Structure 1
Amino acid sequence: MVSQQIIRSLACVLALSLGWPAGASQLVKTLPSETPEKFTPSVEGFDYTKREVMVPMRDGVKLKTFILIPKRVTKDAKAPIIMTRTPYNAGGRVTRFNSPRLLAAVPQMNDTTVDAGYIVVYQDVRGKFGSEGDYVMTRPLRGPVNPTRVDHATDTFDTIDWLVKNVPESNGRVGAMGGSYEGYTTLMATVNPHPALKVVVPFAPMIDGWMGDDWFHNGAFRQGAALEFIYGQQSTRSGAFKFWWGEYDIYDTFLRAGSAGALAKARGLDQLGFWRAISEHPSYDAWWQEQAVDKLLAQLPIKVPMMIVGGLFDQEDIYGSPALYKALAPKDPTGQLVHLVMGPWNHGQGRREGRALGALEFNGDTAGWFRSKVMQPFLDHYLKDAPKPSTPRVLVYETGADEWRQYDHWPRSCAVACVEKSRSMYLLSGGRLGFEAPAGGYDEYVSDPAKPVPYRPRPNLPMSAPDSGWGEWLVDDQRHAGTRTDVLVYQTEPLTEPMRVAGQPIARLFASTSGTDSDWVVKIIDVWPDEVPSKPSMGGYQQMLSADIFRGRYRASPSNPQPLTANEALHYEIPLPQVNHTFQPGHRIMVQIQSSWFPLYDRNPQTFVPNIMFAKPENYVKATQRIWRAPGKSSQIDLPVLRTR
């Protein structure tokens, strides 16, 4: 062992050789820090200034707020404010790239507002990241579910009030914009709105989490996305903890866990308030109904002009945008205040680039065109006194034809130059699909919970995995499912002329099960020709167009689940996501029916239990499923067909 004397001698020699002053040979415990106590970045070359403030709310809680002001905006050359309130880290939102250019620093959603010289504001909602207070998932409005004196509506009111009084560069007008959860907070701004709030643009807002947005679809729990999202949102204020899987293919993870509740417990979600709440409310009871945004806003006067933006292939909130428009349009008979735009987009794509989705390619950057040519003139009119644009009441992209279409109403209403007619396509013998009524019979398959139908080709990856392709699954090729024995397939002959559909398809099934509960999944598919010379990879592609799931126990009432009568043909009416599409000549129309969509949705045990979230292994049983195609029991798909005059 080296003695301390030798160490001191070596230190002395080292000190002398380096020319250190006398006494430096004594060992020191620390060196002076080379990091200053406070560092001030040099931003002289930036084209904007950034202010970080804590904005006080009426209950004393302060919310972290970032205000980005273009340098061309001054107290003499004022500008409007465009605001987004987020649970996803406002600080990260305004440093998308560490750039001296505001256009690069903020999300792409803000590209046209930056070009227009707007002041950009991002704020952490209460309880998240830099904001004080308690966090509640999509905090409900004050009322039966929220007995406090604050909600997103009051927080937005207080924030706007502070901004117009404390940002001298503002022209006193504010717009709110955001997508998904941020779309929800955008809509909350319209409840008792501040007088300075002049316009809102909610992208893909969360509207009704039970009927068809993030958490459930018609009673089936969206476990594959919900558990991961809830964990990330509520485990910490900063989102520091990430849901862990432990394997590449989460199909196996969910299958081994059993129920959604079992996996949630294994990952510690029973510590989180929102998981406990939704697992205690698997049915559409008052807790859900009192939070449904479309129902809430339908009871209030429309005071703020609104452009509702949605995606035809939104894998997370496909229900919300059209449901909100349907609720509000009757309150605006002239179509001056409420507008709807539906693009060929997945969740969030309307805020980014919209040239393609999966294997599909569109006519240019549909999202960029929309923001520049439709959204920005709409904002400028209300925030900068620009001329009133000729904003369509409803603007929907027509897939298959790759054109934007204007409509006077939506859905199941027609544009000026066409006639709408709902046509029923019947499920027929021999896997045929046609307009003639069926002669009789049924088709059957065995649904085995031990081998559920995957919602996309395996491996099934977590939605947050870098290579998951989560945003593309609603346009996936469905050949992987159609070859299974537990999936029924019906299709037409190749079309000889175009068929244009616009609105909401409705599946009307007569179905029976040998069990006492069952899920029914219905998919409408555009089957491409066997050969596509211009793009060979699309040969025979089975492009999913509209699809959804329905949990049988809610057949009679979404709020009062009942067991199904075994082996009895029961009628189901299943509304499917809305479409605006042309089936081209040479293409076929296909319908697929199955009883699981795993692991995106939790498995139905096919035995009636009070709460499927906590079904036991012994509850999961095989069931024989029958789809009937007999007179008086004809299963059909009602399509909103449009014909030109």
Structure 2
Amino acid sequence: MSLDAVYRRHLDITVEYDVPARMRDGTTLYADLYRPTRGGPFPVLLMRLPYDKTQAENLTYHHPAWYARQGFMVVVQDTRGRWRSEGDFYPFAFEAEDGYDTVEWAASLPGSNGRVGMYGFSYVGATQLLAATQRPPSLRAICPGLTASQYYDGWTYNGGAFALAFCASWATQLAIDTAKRRGDDTATAQLAAAFMQAPAWYSSLPLKEYPPLAATGLAPYFFDWLEHSSYDEYWRRWSIDEDYSQITVAALHIGGWYDIFIHGTVKNFAGLRREAGDENARRMQKLLVGPWYHLPWGQVTGCVDFGPEARNIVDLWQLRWLKQFLMDEDTGVLDSPVTVFVMGINEWRDFDDWPPPGVVERDFYLHSAGAANSINGNGRLNLDPPGGEPPDVYTYDPLFPTPSAGGRSCCFATIAPMGPADQAAVEISNGVLVYTSAPLERDLMVVGPVRATLYAASSAHDTDFTVKLCDVGPAGQSINIAQGIVRARFRESLSQPSLITPGEVHEYRIDLGPTAHVFRRGHQIRVQVSSSDFPHWDRNLNTGGELGAEGAAAARVATQIVLHQHDYASRITLPVLEE
């Protein structure tokens, strides 16, 4: 019995493979179609992805056959230059126009009722949002999952630092298909091996000669990303958050608290809720965030079991969303604009907005007797502004950086450190300042954006400062909750970098992103301060030289001074929600 016969007999659906769609410039893209065998016409559910249409991101979602059985015609298309589709691939470049053309093509397919929805996560969230900026008339709803608001800050860079583990491994993964399309067995094998062994390559310098990609020339965009190290027109042309008024479609924004793109996911929801192109669209925005990293999604993320409530419920939410807007069923999906999983108490909560009404920002100040180095130091954290305290001093050597322990990266935990993790191996280092509160006398709910303000000086012309928020349990285990970085030259602007003067005190504002977490009674709040989190981000060589262009011999040790006194009140700001 053929696979098609199995689909028809046991699932009551039919499948068409490699259905051509001609784009406005004559390029043909190919899709697989899944449709119910009886009834119709049907609304269309479209996924456009660069990762092989036969898989349809089924590492996280139900198979397209499942959606077809719910009454949708499902169209899964290889994007331009990927797998079966014609053309040349370049990330983000063609997704807006190709997305518009594909939506309207899908709406006109035999058996379609003319209504189109889209779904998918990561890059496939970008294919939805970029298509939506073109306002295709047949597009009624989208479900962008775990995706960003732009592709400079929050995707390729964070606070001016290059997201090394993600970008290097992702570009290598993309290049594998390009090599396959060219029939290059040698390059395909080399790239596949480099992807699986990615952690062994992250230390390669200079980055602009990254060996796995420089050797093949099959991912030129990786080197373009390095060349455009500041936010310029290269990035601005693809930035969703430059103008949310372009979008007038209902959107279910799905995120994970440990996902690399959580900043952008939340920003897209808030931006479209306030600035979408019409009032109706502004009312039709929904935020759903679980305690997940990029993939897979389930109750166990990293070293934490968040309980059965944290299981993957995304398909069920998407089904409600799509039935609401493509089938005119009242599913109650918009009863609350925000539904998020609150870690610590491991419960789903509904809120009226993001950040939730009633959130109050509270400053927790860094204190020490001048030796907050490591878990063995005297760093403290409390609500009292600092007095005349001595600063803390540490050194940062780019050739021996602070290692990443979990965090928000992508896309596989074996390739890039991500998720909640025990911080013991990090906090034992004297190159990490550790500030810890007294045990809490009652639960503290933190829901919203977290940010840090550091007053610091460096011996270098350029350097990095990292901040990590952690929850310390009664047994002493420290688990990361949120993290952030700022590259000193980008402290004032991501578009116009400026070096620092050695020895001069500067204010550094560091975005740690959003979270929803309860620090339980008896737990402690901890803040780590360092100058690297590698390989999550690339290493600053402390020279002030061209980013990505210098080799290991150029690296310089930087002496860092963090102040917490009178006019230099270094602190972390937590959004606290009283219950």
Q: Is residue 66 of structure 1 aligned with residue 32 of structure 2? A: yes
Counterpart among 378, 381, 386 of residue 438 in structure 1: 386
Classify 1:253/1:551 alpha carbon distance in 2 versus 1 (closer, same or farther; 3 Å).
same
Residue equivalent to 2:184? none
Secondary structure of the corresponding residue to residue 566 of structure 1: coil
The separation in 2 between residues aligned to 1:588 and 1:40, in whole angstroms, is 56
Residue from 423, 438, 445 that aligns with 1:478: 423
Structure 1 residue 188, shift from structure 2 partner: 2.0
Q: Which residue of 2 aligns with 1:581?
A: 517
Report what 1:385 is aligned to: 328
Say whether the 8 Å CA contact 2:226–2:547 is kept in structure 1. Answer: no
2 CA distance for matches of 1:59 and 1:634? 57
Q: Aligned partners of 2:200 and 2:143: how far apart in 1? A: 40
Equivalent residues of 2:61, 2:315 under 8 A apart = no
Return the letter of the residue paired with 1:640: P
Aligned pair partner of 2:353 in 397, 404, 409: 409
Q: Give the match for residue 328 of structure 1.
A: 272
In the alignment, the residues of structure 2 paired with residue 283 and residue 357 of structure 1 have an alpha-carbon distance, to the nearest angstrom, of 33
Q: Which of these residues, 563, 567, 570, is aligned with residue 632 of structure 1?
A: 567
- 3-state DSSP of counterpart to 2:518: strand
Name the CA distance, whole Å, in 1 between partners of 2:471 and 2:508: 23
CA pair 58-370 structure 1, distance change in 2 beyond 3 A: closer
Number of the residue aligned with 2:576: 641
Q: Equivalent of 2:51, from 85, 88, 95?
A: 88
The corresponding residue for 1:507 is: 452
Deviation string, structure 1 residues 303-343 (Cα, Å, up to 9, x no partner): 211111111110x3232201212322212678522221121
Decide whether the 8 Å contact of 2:75 with 2:106 is kept in 1.
no
AA of the residue aligned to 1:294: D
Aligned pair partner of 1:452 in 383, 386, 401: 401
Q: Which aligned pairs between 1:566-645 and structure 2 lie closer than 5 A?
A: 566-609=502-545, 611-644=546-579
Q: 1:51 and 2:16 equivalent?
A: yes
Q: Is the 8 A contact 1:232 1:242 kept in 2?
A: no
Q: Which runs of 5+ in 2 are unaligned?
A: 182-187, 369-377
User: How far 1:453 sits from its partner (Å)?
Assistant: 1.0
**1:212 and 2:212 aligned:** no
Specify whether residues 463 and 289 from structure 1 end up closer, same or farther in structure 2 by C-alpha distance, changes over 3 A only. Answer: closer
The code of the aligned residue for 1:85 comes to: R
The CA deviation at 1:495 is 0.8
Pair 1:244–1:599, CA change in 2 (3 A): farther
The counterpart of 2:141, out of the listed 194, 199, 214, is 199
Cα offset for 1:278? Answer: 1.2
Under a length normalisation based on structure 1, what TM-score does the superposition of the two structures give? 0.80
C-alpha contact (below 8 Å) 1:210/1:216 kept by paired residues: yes
| SS in structure 1 at match of 2:134 | coil
Query: CA separation in 1, counterparts of 2:537 and 2:217?
Result: 19
Partner of 1:146 in structure 2?
none
Is residue 175 of structure 2 the alignment partner of residue 221 of structure 1? no
Shift of 1:510: 0.3
Give the letter for the 2:98 counterpart: D
Q: Which amino acid aligns with 1:438?
A: P
Which of 196, 204, 208 pairs up with 1:261? 208
Tell me the residue number matched to 1:285.
Answer: 232
1:542 offset after TM fit, Å? 1.1
Q: How many residues align?
A: 553
Task: Tell me if 1:343 matches 2:343.
Answer: no
Partner AA of 1:633 in structure 2: Y
- The separation in 1 between residues aligned to 2:195 and 2:82, in whole angstroms, is 30
Q: Give the CA deviation at 1:556.
A: 2.0
Partner of 1:133: 87
Does the 8 Å CA contact 2:295/2:411 hold for their aligned counterparts? no
What secondary structure is seen at the aligned counterpart in 2 of 1:613?
A: coil
Counterparts of 2:551 and 2:298, CA distance in 1? 44
2:374 alignment counterpart: none
- In 1: Cα distance, 2:417 partner to 2:338 partner: 25
Distance 1:402 1:167, change over 3 A: same
- Once the two structures are TM-superposed, the CA of residue 229 in structure 1 deviates from its matched residue by 1.6
Q: What does 1:518-597 correspond to in 2, within 5 Å? A: 518-530=463-475, 540-597=476-533
Decide whether the 8 Å contact of 1:223 with 1:260 is kept in 2. no
Structure 2 matches for 1:143-292, cutoff 5 A? 151-168=94-111, 170-213=112-155, 215-234=156-175, 236-237=177-178, 238=180, 240=188, 243=191, 253-255=201-203, 257-264=204-211, 267-268=214-215, 272-292=219-239
Once residues 365 and 36 of structure 2 are traced to their aligned partners in structure 1, the CA distance between those partners, rounded to angstroms, is 59
Letter paired with 2:383: F
The equivalent residue for 1:425 is: 364
What CA RMSD, in Å, does the superposition of the two structures yield over aligned residues?
A: 2.7
Q: 1:269 to 1:207 in 2, by over 3 A?
A: farther
CA shift for structure 1 position 376: 2.1
Amino acid corresponding to residue 511 of structure 1 in structure 2: A
User: CA 1:586 to 1:50, structure 2 compared with 1: closer, same or farther past 3 Å?
Assistant: same
Shift of 1:116: 2.0
Deviations 1:417-464 (A, max 9, x none): xx321110000012111111112221111111121111138xx9x978
2:367–2:435 contact (8 Å) kept in structure 1: yes
Gaps of 5+ in 1: 1-38, 98-105, 140-150, 531-539
SS at match of 1:113: helix
How far apart in 1 are the matches of 2:451 and 2:547?
26
Decide whether the 8 Å contact of 1:259 with 1:602 is kept in 2: no
2:174 aligns to what SS in structure 1?
helix
Q: In structure 2, what residue type is equivalent to 1:263?
A: Y
Residue 19 of structure 1 corresponds to which residue in structure 2?
none
Work out which of the two has the higher radius of gyration on C-alpha atoms and give 1 or 2: 1
Q: Summarize deviations over 1:72-129 as a string: whole Å, max 9, x none.
A: x33xx432221100000112339x69xxxxxxxx942758734522222100011111
User: How far 1:390 moved relative to its partner?
Assistant: 4.9
User: What secondary structure sits across from 2:360 in the alignment?
Assistant: strand
Superposed displacement of residue 260, structure 1: 1.6
Does the C-alpha gap of structure 1 residues 630 and 552 become closer, same or farther in structure 2, counting only changes over 3 Å? Answer: same
What is the CA–CA distance in structure 1 between the aligned matches of 2:359 and 2:464, rounded to whole Å? 31
Check conservation: 2:485, 2:511, Cα contact below 8 A.
no
Q: CA deviation at 1:365?
A: 4.7
The alpha-carbon distance between structure 1 residues 175 and 367, as it changes in their structure 2 partners (threshold 3 A), is farther
**Taking structure 1 as reference, are residues 196 and 218 closer, same or farther at Cα in structure 2, changes over 3 Å only?**
same
Percent of aligned pairs sharing the same letter = 28
Q: Secondary structure at the match of 1:85?
A: strand
